[in-house]
């Protein structure tokens, strides 16, 4: 039998695995049960009553977190020369086209987001096998295929994230760092959950938001009382 550490004992005393917490309570407790030496990422999950195999139930969207994600987002803009200055001035880390297409073909994916203009999608499309599994493929639905590359870069740098339901009907999203205040974590979580609720398919029968949890990289997951949340109270 593995030995229980001092930190694990403290965690066990500070939270109840069977309890449904309000979102605000969960964000307070979360900071008390995280003992990592690094600034752990806060992750929210939403368990949806959808069948992702049905096209009209594939929940996908974007949201700008009011307090950002807490991490430095490395952005690559693939575009024609006339758009390069706009991208650079907006803060893109890498800007170009053919050079980066070749680098990606060679296995380079040291980036977090790729934004491109519609005119270069033919060149970007061939990278699908590399970019798709890593969640890096630009998509018009998430605003990463656009002529407004400057605005797109600024939005991503400011905390815009995209989310998608997985095969089991669950959305996972990083919504901040444990160094954030409980209020900042709560406001980011609220922004994401509100956006997910807006995307409820009109034809869906039964419960849409079945459950939600919040945790950090190394902490247990806290169950959130979604009934209170969906009725308009996240406190």
User: What are the boundaries of each domain within the chain?
Assistant: 6-69+160-230, 75-152
Quick one: pLDDT at residue 135? 87
**C-alpha–C-alpha distance, residues 224 and 219, integer Å:** 15
Quick one: pLDDT at residue 233? 42
**C-alpha–C-alpha distance, residues 46 and 39, integer Å:** 23
pLDDT one digit per residue (tens) for the chain, 235 residues: 455 566 666 666 677 778 999 999 999 999 888 878 889 999 999 999 999 999 899 999 999 999 999 988 999 999 999 999 999 999 999 999 999 999 999 999 999 999 999 999 999 999 999 999 998 999 998 899 999 999 999 999 989 998 999 999 999 999 999 999 999 999 999 999 999 999 999 989 889 999 999 999 888 899 999 987 666 444 4
Quick one: pLDDT at residue 212? 96
Looking at the domain covering 75-152, what would its CATH class be? alpha beta
178, 39 contact by CB (below 8 A): yes
Tokens of 180: 């954030």
Quick one: pLDDT at residue 235? 42
H helices within the chain, ranges in order? 6-14, 23-32, 84-90, 98-105, 121-125, 128-131, 149-157, 182-198, 226-230
Domain covering 6-69+160-230 in this structure, CATH number:
3.30.190.20
**C-alpha–C-alpha distance, residues 5 and 52, integer Å:** 40
Tokens of 6: 């001092």
């Amino acid at each position: 039998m593995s030995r229980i550490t001092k930190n694990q004992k403290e965690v066990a005393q500070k939270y109840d695995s069977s309890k449904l917490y309000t979102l605000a309570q969960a964000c307070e407790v979360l900071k008390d049960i995280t003992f990592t030496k690094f600034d752990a990422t806060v992750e929210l999950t939403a368990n949806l009553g959808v069948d992702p195999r049905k096209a009209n139930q594939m929940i996908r969207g974007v949201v700008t977190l009011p307090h950002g994600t807490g991490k430095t987002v490395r952005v690559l803009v693939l575009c024609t020369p006339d758009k390069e200055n706009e991208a650079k001035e907006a803060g893109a880390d890498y800007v170009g086209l053919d050079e980066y297409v070749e680098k990606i073909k060679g296995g380079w994916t040291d980036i977090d987001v790729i934004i491109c203009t519609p005119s270069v999608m033919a060149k970007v499309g061939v990278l699908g096998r590399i970019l798709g599994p890593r969640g890096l493929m630009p998509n018009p639905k998430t605003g990463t295929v656009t002529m407004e590359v400057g605005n797109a870069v600024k939005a991503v740098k400011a905390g815009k994230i995209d989310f998608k339901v997985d095969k089991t009907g669950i959305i996972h999203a990083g919504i901040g760092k444990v160094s954030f205040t409980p209020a900042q974590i709560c406001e980011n979580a609220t922004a994401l959950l509100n956006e997910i609720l807006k995307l409820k398919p009109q034809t869906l029968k039964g419960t849409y938001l079945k459950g939600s949890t919040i945790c950090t990289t190394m902490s247990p997951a806290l169950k959130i009382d979604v009934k209170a949340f969906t009725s308009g109270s996240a406190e």
